[in-house]
Amino acid sequence: MSSEGFGSGAVARECRRRRTFAIISHPDAGKSTMTEALALHARMISEAGAVHGKGGRRSTVSDWMEMEKARGISVSSTALQFAYDGEHSGDEPNVINLVDTPGHADFSEDTYRVLTAVDAAVMLIDAAKGLEPQTLKLFQVCRHRGIPVITVINKWDRPGQTPLELIDEITERIGLIPTPLFVPVGIAGDFRGLLDRRTGKFIKFSRTAGGAKVAPEEIVDAATAAETQGDAWIAAVEESELLGELGQDHDQEMFLAGQTSPMIFTSAMLNFGVRQLLEALVEFAPAPAGRTGIDGAERTVTDPFSAVVFKVQAGMDTSHRDRLAFMRIVSGQFERGMVVTHAQTGKPFATKYAQAVFGRDRSTVDTAYPGDVVGLVNAMALAPGDTLYIDPKVQYPPIPSFAPEHFSALRVTTADKYKQFRRAIDQLDAEGVVQVLRNDLRGDASPVLAAVGPMQFEVVTARMKAEFNVDTILEPLGYALARRTDEDSAADLSRQRGVEVFTRSDGVLLALFSDKWRLQFIEKEFPDLTLAALVAATD
């Protein structure tokens, strides 16, 4: 590696090429299908995984867990990186880092972690259903974190609302002003193409068999479009003119400030409008930027290497029982084999095994830059929220754990599997799949699992069986909410009916309550006890 490779100029140049984003949506809005379509347009795959036909639906390459394949939903997050050489790419192709997120509301905590690692978000909305609860929650997280949002109205090949109805709903419900870059030609269910509002031309799409290939595009002038598309073209032109009169044209400063959102209409299943989304990401989404450490010092992208671990995942490769820690590079240049410092322990950490991950496929990463996501293999000491760095020291703010709402005791069915059971619990705890709680009364043989949603328990039991060959029994507990407490308060709380105190694996003491009325009673009767609220999944 030449000295130029380590220079700040090279890092800054690589940063400008990169776009790192996540897709947020309600379940079944087409998020994984869109992920496949983006990879297809970037030529990372030759055929989309979500193919509907006589052979049925294949699972998408980003969904690697057996539960995901069986149910057709995403319950884990994966990171895909690909080069995209488009019309706004400049002299070199852009590098796209797409961090796929769980679609189900039960996995909000995992999605929140992902949103700490991206610079922009694509808010995917079903054309028929409009804004749905999970989308609203995740949008609020984006707003809180200052993440700019590109809005995509998906499934325009099916019946749905009108463009203006969807625009009004978004404006009124979340205060985000959509600024459509294109207007669909043809009502929802009759998707013919897009009116490019900046050029006034018609982008005509043609279907491919089952949507398995990139949809051909034809650029048609306005006069020809009016002749061939008739009333559908006239309606699109009128809508575009109305939007212009209302001032709903793209403004980059307002977009980055979170006030407006470029809007695109697509059909991920047919691969319509996908190239336009990629071009919008390259043209408008921000490049990676520096971050502020817990000491208030700013770490710029050209400073020495630093990174944040946002996800830990095991079981992705059944032939190798390894564990990957996904880190988002914040600053500097990463070189495989470099020895960095783990901020939480102060100990050195060797990066010999560094990989890029595409679904279950892996490739060795030798060099990476800010915005890139790298998987560190067998990173047993790392947990979500940890910081890695090269001097000078930096430590980024931790990622908070969400307030759990569901609690179950877990035990192994046969005593001879107890060692595997303990090892599995420790692994899933380190990944953040669930929060693991213990106390002296229950002991290690029956830890309590705390989760945001009940499907997290299904993941635990399924992975226990698949990865460790351990059969388990879940026993739901009669608790409904948790509060953070301290040693001084724990003894008094443990004597109360409907209350149990546990120690979480990170050392935090949690008091579990049977219901909100029991909590309110104890707060009233014992006002001096420490009972602090945790971060809610809807915050």
Closest by CA position to 107, among listed 313, 277, 281: 313
**CA 292 and chain centroid, separation:** 21
Q: How far apart are the first and last CA of the chain?
A: 45
Two tokens, residue 31? 């998020």
99 three-state secondary structure: strand
How far, in Å, CA of 159 to CA of 154, rounded?
Answer: 11
Q: Partners of 513 in the beta sheet?
A: 481, 499
Q: Residue 101, annotated ligand binder?
A: yes
Residue 196 — φ and ψ, nearest 5°? -75, 110
**CA 57 and chain centroid, separation:** 23
How far, in Å, CA of 131 to CA of 158, rounded?
Answer: 16
> Under a CB-based contact definition with an 8 Å cutoff, are residues 189 and 159 in contact?
yes
3-state SS, one letter per residue, for 148-184? CEEEEEECCCCCCCCHHHHHHHHHHHHCCEEEECEEE
Provide the sign of the torsion angle of the four alpha carbons 284, 290, 291, 297, taken in this order: negative
Q: Residue 104, annotated ligand binder?
A: yes
Beta strands in 113-257 (DSSP E): 120-126, 149-154, 177-180, 182-185, 193-196, 202-205, 217-220
Q: Residue 103, annotated ligand binder?
A: yes
Buried-state track 155-194, b at ≥16 Cβ within 10 A, e below 16: bbbeebbebeebbeebeeebebbbbbbbbbbbbbeebbbb
How far, in Å, CA of 539 to CA of 141, rounded?
Answer: 7
Closest by CA position to 229, among listed 264, 213, 205: 205
Q: Residue 359, annotated ligand binder?
A: no
Relative to beta strand 149-154, strand 120-126 is parallel
Give the number of other CB atoms < 10 A from CB of residue 219. Answer: 12
Annotated binding site: 100-104
Binding-site residues for GTP, please? 100-104
